[in-house]
Structure 1
Amino acid sequence: MVSDAISCAPHAVFDVKPGELQPGLTSVVVVTADSGELAVNCVASVLASTAPIELLVVDNASTDGLIAELEKRFGGDSRLRIVEQAANIGFGPACNRGAALARGDGLLFLNPDCLVQDATIGRMREVAAGLVNAGVLGVRVLDRNGGVEKATRRRDPSLSRALCSLLGLARFESRWPAMGGISMPPASIRQEAEFVDAVSGACLFLPRAVFNAVDGFDESYFLHCEDLDLCRRVRDAGFDVMYVSDITVRHEQGGSSRRRPLFVSRHKHRGMWRYFRRFDPAFGNLLLRAVVWSGIWLHFLLYAPIHGWRQIRAGKA
């Protein structure tokens, strides 16, 4: 294991030096921030992979003893590299820091509360290699109860789709397709990859060349919506976003997000506004712009007391 205290410049250059890139190697980037035991389990599952991997854990200033535990448990594994940040710089920026140091020709961004099987990474590489224009590859993401998460396969979050999701109209999509929301209904399991607008950011595989071509994650997002933004820019660059239903990962959903729900919610709503500003044609209409801005932050304020109470309880626990 190699431990680095590195803070790369924003929008770091992702091309490694000649001779450093290793074909066939998948660089797995896991961003942690007081992610606890779930992150330890995630690291263990990645290191059990049967495919050639390196694992870069980019830690956003954890104070829960996570780094010491990783060094204790996996310190003898040279495939693990720990990149410590002096402060919490956000998810997308931390992913970029990991990618800037990665040596693989494939990049897998994995949430610290996700578990992969030993053949998962190799299978993702195999599928991506068989696709002519692969840009982003997503998989079937299951919650802790075995159900398919809503965000597993998604449409672009246009204003109309966001409203259908917010108002609960998406439940009538089977009868009236125009009422479809952002999240698509669960798909039947099949071997063929499916074209979609976006996949879950809990587990994203990209060929390194594609990640470089779009300059990585947009660092203006701190947390949430950066995955939607990345998928959109990958498609705009001429590559495909694909969903593979017969590969699964388990998303335990916990760690830092549960301990700081108000913090997470604020940045989620901030990310929504940035995405709308960048990509929705409705942003050009001044009235709609004001309505959307008001709606996003009113929604945040309505739920803020609940999230605040949960955060207080989590702190006491």
Structure 2
Amino acid sequence: MNAAFQTTPTVSVIVVAADSGPTLRECVRRVMACEVPLELILVDNGSGDGVPQAIERAMQQEWRLRVIYNRANLGFGPAVNRGAAQARGNVLLILNPDCMLDDASLRRLLELLRAHPKAGIIGAVVCDDHGVPDGASYRRDPYLGRALRSLLGKNDGVNIGGDMPAEPVRAEAVSGALMAMPRVVFENLRGFDEAYFLHCEDLDLCRRARDAGYEVWLAGDVHVLHGKGGSSRHRPVFVSWHKHRGMWRWFRKFDPAARNPVTSSVVWLGLWAHFVAKIPGQWLRLLRRGRPALAATDGE
């Protein structure tokens, strides 16, 4: 193996795990099968399932893999920041543990970064097991009016309705399940805002990137399988709690409507009423699955 290849990866793939289960093994396997020079930084947020440790043991001779163990669940953004601090690649690729990357998709993302020098973040179309795109792949800033329209099921809300574009397009925001960006951009933005624990930190990063003069792009011709929060499905109340906290923080930071104290109070009450209203259905689904309602996180 060429020594320069070992010391200068092109891409640093950062995966945050938190009791992510067997999908993490397949995510790691597919990343390591890519031929692009890369390193994989696996950041474990205090998992109790033993999967990160098993992966490290099985790949102890693989210099491209590094595992960072956090003693507690720090949240998604803080864990990514710790992984990025140890990254050596010129490009960071933030990847959910239930997202399945392939070499062709990775090469296309790198090609787009080279083709668009002002690009700060490039996302992909993330799809479910049936190939159906997640609407969160192509988003707008979640201003109050847009968020209300999304809540009412309208197509002109936060997620851009209709078919996904078939080619690269400029976007306001993309899904944090997969984000490629130059490391220098991530460093200039000082990474994720660590006041978010889970959810909306990707919307925040995209907004700050645009405010700093960078472009956000969706690679419409790159489709990646995404399991949609494998470790979150059996801990929905905890995840929902942090999602609503994230929505409140984004609103307070960026939405002009937050300057009005009456509007701000109504939004606060509405958010938490919505959170409480969702709990019975979440618990019912848990009981039907026969799983304990515990708490964990992975990326959005």
> Match for residue 210 of structure 1?
185
> Match for residue 94 of structure 1?
79
Q: CA RMSD in A?
A: 1.8
Kept after mapping to 1: 8 A contact 2:133/2:164? no
The amino acid of 1:306's aligned partner reads G
> Match for residue 314 of structure 1?
291
> Match for residue 289 of structure 1?
264
Partners of 2:229 and 2:139 in 1: CA distance: 22
1:203-242 equivalences under 5 Å are: 203-242=178-217
> Match for residue 275 of structure 2?
300
> Match for residue 10 of structure 1?
none
| CA-CA distance at 1:310 after TM superposition | 3.6
| CA-CA distance at 1:69 after TM superposition | 2.1
1:9-35 deviations in Å (ceiling 9; x for gaps)? xxxxxxxxxx9xx76610000000000
Partners of 1:184 and 1:75 in 2: CA distance: 43
> Match for residue 16 of structure 1?
none
> Match for residue 120 of structure 1?
105
Structure 1 residues 287-296 or 60-69, which shifts more? 60-69
Partners of 1:311 and 1:79 in 2: CA distance: 38
Does residue 184 (structure 1) correspond to residue 160 (structure 2)? The answer is yes
Partners of 1:254 and 1:295 in 2: CA distance: 25
Structure 1 residues 245-254 or 304-313, which shifts more? 304-313
Normalised TM-score (structure 2): 0.92
- Between the aligned residues of both structures, percent identity stands at 49
| Residue of 245, 248, 263 corresponding to 1:270 | 245
The amino acid of 1:188's aligned partner reads P
| CA-CA distance at 1:258 after TM superposition | 1.1
1:52-80 deviations in Å (ceiling 9; x for gaps)? 11000000000011123212432221100
The amino acid of 2:30's aligned partner reads S
Partners of 1:56 and 1:269 in 2: CA distance: 29
> Match for residue 160 of structure 1?
145
The amino acid of 1:289's aligned partner reads S
SS in 2 for 1:107: strand
| Residue of 195, 215, 223 corresponding to 2:170 | 195
Q: Mind listing any 5+ residue stretches in structure 1 that lack a counterpart?
A: 1-18, 172-179
Structure 1 residues 113-122 or 31-40, which shifts more? 113-122
Kept after mapping to 2: 8 A contact 1:144/1:253? no
> Match for residue 39 of structure 1?
24
The amino acid of 2:65's aligned partner reads L
> Match for residue 132 of structure 1?
117
SS in 2 for 1:28: strand
1:155-203 deviations in Å (ceiling 9; x for gaps)? 00000000001012x24xxxxxxxx10001232312xx21110001100
Q: Mind listing any 5+ residue stretches in structure 2 that lack a counterpart?
A: 294-300
Partners of 2:182 and 2:211 in 1: CA distance: 16
Matched residue count = 287
SS in 2 for 1:56: strand
| CA-CA distance at 1:101 after TM superposition | 0.5
> Match for residue 296 of structure 2?
none
> Match for residue 11 of structure 1?
none
> Match for residue 133 of structure 2?
148
Partners of 1:53 and 1:311 in 2: CA distance: 39
1:61-76 equivalences under 5 Å are: 61-76=46-61
